[in-house]
Amino acid sequence: MKKVILIIFSLAFTSCGAQNQAILDLKKNDLIAFSFIENGIRPIESPYEQEVYNKNSIIILKRKWANIGKDYFEKQFVFVKNLDTMKISCNCGQEKNLYFKDLEFKKGEIKIELPSNLNLEKAKDIFSDKKLNNTSAINSYNFNNKGLKDTFVDLPFNELEFLIISKN
C-alpha cells in the first residue's frame, strides 16, 4: 500500500513539473527573431542568450535584460555559417521583442541602426508566410510576457508582438 501511495505522489509531482516546462519565462527577457534568406546558419550563444528555435532559416533567441550601462542599449549577435562568422550590432535597447527580417549572411560585422518608425506586429502575422507553422515546437510554449500595466501574462507564441527591423 505504501508503494502505491508513493507512486501516486511521484506521478503527481512529475506531471506538475511537466506543466511548468511548457511556459517559457520572459520576465526580464526579450525574444529576438532572425529570418535569414539562406539556411545553415547557427547562433553563437552568449551568457545573455539562449537559443529557443532554429529551423528553416528562422532563429529565435531568448535574451536576458542587462543592467543600465553599455549592454542595456548596445546588442551584439554572432552567427556562424560553415567557418565564417557574422556579427550584428545594434543600439536596440531592451524590453521589447525584435524581429530582424530577411537578413543575408555576410562575413564580418554589420551595424543596424533602428529607424524611429518601427512597425509592431504579432508573431502570427510575421511568420504566416514563413516556414514556422502551427505544428512547430515553438508553438508548444506559452510565453510569460509583459502585458498591460506591467503585469505578466502567459501568451502563445502567435500572440507575442515584435518590432520589425529590416536591413534593406
Contact (Cβ atoms closer than 8 angstroms) between residue 84 and residue 72: no
Predicted TM-score (pTM) of the model is: 0.74
With residue 9 as reference, give the H or E element that holds it.
helix 2-21
Enumerate the domain spans of the chain.
23-166
pLDDT > 80? residue 162: yes
pLDDT tens digits, residue range 92-137? 877 788 899 899 999 999 998 877 777 788 888 887 766 565 445 6
Contact (Cβ atoms closer than 8 angstroms) between residue 130 and residue 138: no
Nearest residue to 164 via CA among 35, 29, 26: 35
The residue among 119 and 6 whose pLDDT is bigger is 119
**Rg of the chain's alpha carbons, rounded to an integer?**
18
User: How, if at all, do strands 74-81 and 84-91 pair?
Assistant: antiparallel
